[in-house]
């Protein structure tokens, strides 16, 4: 379903008991709500949670911001490294307001919030700016944005920014590109079944393909910069989950978050990269649901 939230049309998937503890899931850069695997969502619902997934603005089936144009990534990168302001069509704080507005539209005053990668950055804004509304915070494979943290390798950056062929969508070429990217950043100890992997990526591309939206979201991440000072305002119980083999957001970012969020706990998973492999769904569901939650 689609909801009007913060002046933006947001695609929402709402599963589980309406009277269950609400859990909002926020996905990362350019990713759609379907990147939260259905099997993992089912495990969370089995624990009695009302699981709410959204397409962030400019991704999936949510409102696009094409009128803002496609940003100059090279120019934005130069401004970032020179510590200059990075112009952006919208901010991560705006995306956090979108998420709060979705919960408002659903009549939810307080919720558990879980964000992965860029979604974790948005979740940091949510928990810091409206601390009384976050019952529990989960941060998966994400970062404070501190400039001192290790960065992805040049190979990973090149794969992330690989140019798409001109002339519009070529499904096979885009699936091949995504296969290269997610194989590079994925979990080395938990490789997916190739047939299922291709099927999942193809379904994602066919559901929505919006490269200019990815670029605008990437600029929003760069413009957000270092959130370290923001983290001091987080009071929700916070659990951080990160893979020790994450090449996109190295695990040092997780230790940095734990040090900067009062009372935060950290779970580092051996062999996990920057993805949500099926073999880890039970463990991830348990980590997200938190203490005292068990399958029904």
175 in a structural domain: no
Number of domains in the chain: 1
Q: Which domain covers residue 28, as residue numbers? A: 2-152+211-289
193 in a structural domain: no
51 in a structural domain: yes
Q: What pLDDT is attached to residue 293?
A: 66
Confidence of residue 277 (pLDDT cuts 50, 70, 90): very high
Indicate if the pLDDT at residue 292 is higher than 70: no
73: domain CATH number is 3.40.50.1820
Q: What pLDDT is attached to residue 34?
A: 98
Beta strands across the sheet bearing 111-116: 2-5, 8-15, 50-54, 22-26, 111-116, 134-140, 238-243, 265-269
Q: What is the pTM of this model?
A: 0.96
203 in a structural domain: no
Confidence of residue 81 (pLDDT cuts 50, 70, 90): confident
164 in a structural domain: no
pLDDT tens-place string over residues 126-163: 999 999 999 999 999 999 999 999 999 889 988 888 87
Average pLDDT over the chain, rounded to whole?
95
pLDDT tens-place string over residues 221-230: 999 999 999 9
pLDDT tens-place string over residues 182-219: 999 999 999 999 999 999 999 999 999 999 999 999 99
Q: What pLDDT is attached to residue 101?
A: 98
Mean pLDDT (whole number) for 36-64: 98
Q: What pLDDT is attached to residue 257?
A: 98
294 in a structural domain: no
Q: What pLDDT is attached to residue 168?
A: 83
74 in a structural domain: yes
Mean pLDDT (whole number) for 28-47: 97
Q: What pLDDT is attached to residue 72?
A: 82
189 in a structural domain: no
């Amino acid at each position: 379903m689609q909801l009007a939230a913060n002046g933006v049309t947001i695609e929402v998937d709402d599963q589980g008991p309406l009277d269950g503890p609400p859990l909002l899931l926020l996905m990362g850069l350019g990713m759609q709500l379907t990147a939260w695997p259905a099997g993992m969502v089912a495990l969370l619902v089995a624990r009695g949670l009302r699981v709410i997934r959204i397409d962030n603005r400019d991704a999936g089936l949510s409102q696009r911001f094409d009128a803002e144009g496609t940003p100059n990534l090279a120019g934005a990168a130069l401004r970032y490294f020179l510590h200059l302001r990075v112009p952006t069509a919208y901010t991560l704080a705006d995306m956090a307001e979108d998420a709060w507005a979705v919960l408002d539209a659903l009549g939810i005053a307080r919720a558990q919030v879980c964000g992965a990668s860029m979604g974790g950055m948005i979740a940091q804004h949510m928990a810091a700016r409206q601390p009384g509304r976050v019952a529990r915070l989960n941060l998966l494979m994400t970062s404070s944005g501190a400039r001192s943290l290790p960065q992805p390798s040049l190979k990973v950056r090149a794969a992330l920014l690989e140019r798409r062929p001109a002339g519009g969508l070529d499904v096979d070429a885009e699936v091949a590109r995504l296969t290269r990217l997610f194989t590079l950043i994925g979990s080395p100890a938990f490789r997916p079944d190739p047939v299922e992997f291709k099927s999942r990526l193809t379904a994602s591309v066919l559901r929505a393909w919006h490269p200019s939206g990815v670029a605008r979201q990437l600029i929003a991440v760069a413009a957000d910069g270092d959130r370290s000072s923001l983290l001091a305002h987080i009071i929700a119980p916070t659990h951080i989950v990160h893979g020790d083999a994450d090449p996109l957001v190295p695990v040092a970012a997780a230790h940095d978050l734990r040090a900067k969020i009062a009372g935060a706990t950290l779970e580092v998973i051996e062999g996990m990269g920057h993805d949500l492999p099926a073999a880890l769904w039970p463990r991830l569901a348990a980590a997200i649901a938190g203490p005292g939650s068990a399958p029904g």
